[in-house]
A and B are shown apart, each in its own frame.
Chain A
């Protein structure tokens, strides 16, 4: 195969229901298998152990759903977007909804390095004391630093939080919204923010709602 027939596609998909309990590597494998079932002319890496060329966006914490996942893959053909979309939609596993697909410039930087911030919406499975929570949110926002320990390493959570607020639109239950930085070595984790607010992540449902890409 020559390089000039390589086409780079970017899909936008939702990760919902059972799939929320699947980690990043398992999602990668699930998507790779879907691409294989779709019988698309996939591009593989070279070498002794060729892998499908497939890149995912920033890892989603286990248990979180998402309406804003992206993935890039390469095809050795110039298939139309609509054809690829249909082929893929027919074979994706339950919980993975392919929303759209577009051909993108092969020279664009990798997905991972294009994302600089991510927003999350958090719903509560139990009633929360909103006044107390609002106070906690304020404390977090005015703090100069928030030193936390994760997997034995100390880090400052505060600079990773770009926005944090409790949104109440009756009759809907309150939703905690946050925008966290993403990037190599500086990716904010929503469950860390919840812990800092004194909330148990297991008593919440977290959904990733937007990826902010650098242009």
Chain B
């Protein structure tokens, strides 16, 4: 490494922290380019520790993609653990990148990954450690352009003052467009940040929050969001890639153990099931699959590049992948003899799933088999549109126990709309019924582990209007479960209801919520996703110091005609469809898999050109055959829901 004063000497820091391997960089397959010869430097940040950030596929995709370009480089940075943060702060060392150990504030662009809301305070802390002004309006030409993307940013408003530009939707194509726009601006004059922001605002899938103003009614309800400049699109349509690009295979191989020590291969994006609580299922449409051969080749390549012995085949609903059986058969034939563990999460409750796992796990140990009925009564499952009969669940459970698994993990949620205590009791009853089946087959070895989380209404879903359970409601339901879900072979896990509250405030918050996030961070809130650090009282204090009532965001049933803080963000699915689906839910009316019948959720008209250009199996949506009139992409962008 050349001698350069901007390169940070880490030994003195690392000798004083617990897990120094998080901060060294230098791992196999890391890309380090010659700093001075590269025009544009991009820092990619995951605002939690290395262990989690390095398990994130999105970050790996962007890293790979940017570093394939000759005139740009991407380096990584993560939130330091407490001991390292203390070292950085007491020595006044700015947060640095792992690859070249340069301060993050010397990069051109900082991209922050925001897949979930409990990272918000960490994102602020990361900016602060990087010595970058927190608020977009305070940043000068000396500071990097700060962009953010990830599922949480489909409601960008709570974080809007802190981020210069958000990526709405999939980052693969638009990331390079943003960097190209940055380069063009820099070449042209590169002095006026505002001009850069205006330019970025014209890109499909980019939301520049400073170009919008929120207006509120006297009662505090959002009136409308105003676009302040002609460049500001309204709505901002979610970006998608028409076809999934080739999967990343040359993954960085961490020296230290991380959260998921596995090669992640995304087999499919999106979900056709339409579970009404599921934000991912709504915002990742349309469903696009990768061909079996491409997946097999990717596994082969990644094993060669990394030597990692576990592969995770990722999707929102593995069972729905069109060629799941041929895929699993091929994977099992090619890789299980080579001591490679294959995981296949998110399987449907049906006996085929057991057959699939059987094929994948071969002779290895069978720890636990996971199923997610989400609710325990058929009525409830119809409301959330996850219609599975209890008999089908029991049948699948019998199959699982008979094929050598001793433990079944069942995931449920409490707090679904219109849930009663009877529905909650049914969770305990159903778990016991499953266990009883297990005991009949394998005796006392049979176990059921119930994981019960609490439903949080999310933007862009059919349940975006519904109130979230209050703390006392959640506590009462959890107490009931703790009382009834007891006994040999039964285990219950639940979420801290206060953590649920935080996620509920943030996920449906508006711009005013940003003051709460900032204040909570000032008071010391960080690592909110970590049970041992989450401090509810800091958030309570932040609310009490302000005029903002947290219940306004969580426990109020929002009228259908209310303007929602994220209405100017178009996730592709029409609001009219969401409204209809919400009304259907109230009658327990369900929708079948939309592979079988299109329910006109709105994706096709919005992305008609893309679909026409990518016909056949690439999408699960019906084909758009008739180019009745010539539509160009600009016009499609303007289509209102």
Binding site for B on A (CB under 8 A): 17-19, 21-23, 25-26, 29-30, 32-37, 39, 44, 48-50, 52, 62-63, 91, 93-95, 125, 201-203, 205
Taking a contact as CB atoms under 8 Å apart, the answer to whether A25 and B307 are in contact is no
B37 at the interface (CB under 8 A from A): no
B14-22, B60-68, B88-96, B142-150 - interface stretch: B14-22
The answer on a CB contact under 8 Å between A94 and B12 is no
Q: Is the CB of A35 within 8 A of B364?
A: no
Query: Assuming A37-B306, A44-B339, is B11 touching A26 (CB within 8 A)?
Result: no
Residue from the set B14, B28, B306 with the largest chain A CB neighbour count within 10 Å: B28
Assess the A33–B364 pair: CB atoms within 8 A. Answer: no
In the complex, besides A22-B256, A202-B16, A205-B11, 16 extra interface pairs with C-beta distance below 8 angstroms are: A18-B25, A18-B26, A19-B255, A21-B21, A26-B21, A29-B257, A30-B253, A32-B309, A33-B308, A36-B309, A48-B365, A49-B364, A49-B365, A62-B20, A93-B253, A93-B255
Chain B nearest CB: distance from A33 CB in Å? 3
- Taking CB atoms, residues of chain B closer than 8 Å to A39 are 304
CB-based contact A26/B309 at 8 Å: no
Provided the pairs A33-B308, A48-B364, A49-B365 are in contact, do residues A25 and B253 lie with their beta carbons within 8 angstroms? Answer: no
Instruction: Encode contact with A along B1-44: 1 for CB under 8 Å, 0 otherwise.
Output: 00000000001101110001101111110000000000000000
In the complex, what distance in Å separates the CA atom of A25 from the CA atom of B19?
12
Asked if B14 contacts A63 (CB within 8 A), the reply is yes
Docked complex Cα distance between A44 and B363 (Å): 14
Centre residue among A21, A30, A39 by max chain B CB count within 10 A: A21
Please report the C-alpha to C-alpha distance between residue A36 and residue B27 in the assembled complex, in whole angstroms.
16
Whether the pair A22, B307 counts as a contact (CB closer than 8 A) is no
Residues in chain B near residue A37, CB distance under 8 A: 304-307
Q: Chain B, 275-307, contact with A by CB distance < 8 Å: what is the 0/1 string?
A: 000000000000000000000000000011111
Nearest-CB residue, chain A, relative to B13: A202
Residues 475-505 of B, flagged 1 when their CB comes within 8 A of A and 0 if not, give: 0000000000000000000000000000000
What 6 pairs between A and B have smallest CB-CB spacing?
Answer: A33-B307, A202-B15, A18-B26, A48-B365, A36-B307, A21-B20
A22 and B253 within 8 A (CB):
no
A37 to chain B, nearest CB (A): 4
State which of A63, A94, A125, A202 has its C-beta within 8 Å of the C-beta of B26. Answer: A94
- In the complex the two chains form, is B253's CB within 8 Å of A26's CB? no
Closest-by-CB residue of B relative to A93 is B28
Partner of B24, one of A18, A29, A49, A202: A18
A99 CB to nearest B CB, Å: 19
Chain A positions within 8 Å of B365 at CB level: 48-49
Could you tell me the distance between the alpha carbons of A49 and B16 in the complex, rounded to whole angstroms? 36
Q: Nearest A residue to B10 by beta-carbon distance?
A: A21
* Separation of A160 and B444 alpha carbons in the complex (Å): 50
Of chain A, the residue at the smallest CB distance from B18 is: A62
A-B residue pairs in contact (CB < 8 Å), sample of 17: A19-B255, A26-B21, A26-B257, A29-B257, A29-B261, A32-B307, A34-B307, A36-B303, A37-B304, A37-B306, A48-B364, A63-B15, A63-B20, A93-B28, A94-B26, A94-B27, A201-B15
Smallest beta-carbon distance B216→chain A, Å: 51
* Complex Cα–Cα for A39 and B305 (A): 11
Question: If A21-B21, A32-B307, A202-B15 touch, does A95 touch B26 (CB 8 Å cutoff)?
Answer: yes
Q: Which residues of A contact B305 (CB under 8 A)?
A: 37
Known contacts A33-B306, A62-B20, A202-B16, A125 near B11 by CB under 8 Å: yes
Which of chain B's residues has its CB closest to A35's CB?
B307
CA distance A22 to B257 in the complex (A): 10
Chain A residues contacting B257 (CB-CB under 8 Å) are: 25-26, 29
Chain A residues within 8 Å of B15, by CB: 63, 201-203
A36 to B24 Cα, complex, angstroms: 24
Given contacts A48-B363, A48-B364, A94-B26, contact A18 B306 (CB under 8 A): no
Contacts A17-B26, A44-B339, A93-B27 known; A22 to B14 CB distance under 8 Å? Answer: no
Please pick, from B14, B308, B309, the residue contacting A21 in the complex, using a CB distance under 8 A: B14
